[in-house]
Copies of this chain bind each other. A is one copy, B any other.
């Protein structure tokens, strides 16, 4: 089921992320929300295609000619983004259908999530779109991001001027995972594609799983899902995708009450949680527990090009107390503390008393060992390249102590096993800055120590999933 040619439904999902030209329909009055912001940000973020503002009451906006309707635009249009009152949608979509538009992002709300009348309007909209093979994202969505194309359809003002392109693709059923809600600029998070499903009247998790599964620019897929529309089809597709790349899911509704609340949020019914949980596991999908995990765990895959060959983790710390907490975290995610080979342990002990243990605690040695940076680097490389070690979680102070980025670049060059790090420190800005630099080196940094360890546990879990999948053929 690869991407098909022509204007097949699946091909038109691609138009959401890779449109040649886009039209933006709504008000072009300056403000902090709406079509004006959508068009402005398409220009600001350097969208590689033409942007056509559509509104019968404007002649120009943002230095662009405004057309009365999509039918008046001379060029073909692949994607429209609509930010108008709900009741105008059927008429607008009729015109889009006539124009041959492939996909529409309906930012507007007031549909199935609001009331009965809204639900009927949503049905009408879908009927029009289906007839024209026009795919709809939303309604009630902030749309998509594709950093490789400078595409950002967010109707809220972004406070940061650019993204760091990458291969993590993030989908959600809430705008909170939209680009306007995350500190993607400050953290230099390497995003590939983002998608807010909104009400999922048409395009849903199954479409995105297929599209992102086949997308060579996506190395890991993370999805926040409140429900799964077609469980069986999703699981079948997931089994194929997870053989190639990790699929990580955050699915709330673990309790009866939250499952009930889901109904009123997006107007859809959530299934029985245990059933989901078991089925997802069988399909090789990895489930995480919090929003923070959904965002940060993918870094372990996207920022380095290796998986652990086993579950033996070295905990490399500068605080014994944190090391101990890491053992708890390791046990809770299926990892076990590595025992370095006796000769490695002996060498470490000779350099500094008690260093040949796990956690490997550099703390006491810092003020005592001359040329600490060189020694730290050599020791970490030695521990990681020990045959009894599959991966390592490091704890470091946000000012790097006596070390430099060169220390870590050197370690990364000499080690081809997965590493994660927790940085802590006195200044939030310094921690964020160093964290971004370490991320860039290929040592993904986590905002919590247990998450840094859990990321390796999940990398190990995924290594097993892929191995099993390869054995099955």
Contacts and interface: CB of A to CB of B under 8 A. Distances in A.
Interface string A388-425: 00000000010100000000000000000000000011
A159 B427 contact: yes
A10 B399 CA distance: 38
A257 B432 CA distance: 32
A354 B264 contact: yes
Given A159-B399, A353-B114, A328 B255 contact: yes
A337 B257 contact: yes
Interface in A1-46: 33
A113 to B, nearest CB: 7
Contacts of A74: none
Interface in A102-118: 109-110, 113-115
A173 B325 CA distance: 12
Given A257-B337, A321-B172, A114 B354 contact: yes
A159 B426 contact: yes
B114 A364 contact: yes
Contact of A324 (B109, B252, B431): B252
Interface residues of A, number: 76
Given A113-B364, A158-B426, A425-B183, A176 B265 contact: no
Nearest to A450: B290
Copies of this protein in the complex? 2
A221 B319 CA distance: 23
Contact of A265 (B265, B324, B424, B430): B324
A367 interface: yes
Contacts of A354: 113-115, 264
Interface string A361-395: 10110010000000000000000000000000000
Contact of A448 (B160, B173, B292, B320): B292
A266 interface: yes
Given A176-B322, A252-B328, A258-B325, 6 more contacts: A115-B353, A159-B430, A184-B426, A186-B427, A186-B429, A428-B429
For the complex of A and B, 4 pairs with smallest distance between CB atoms: A174-B321, A258-B327, A265-B320, A255-B331
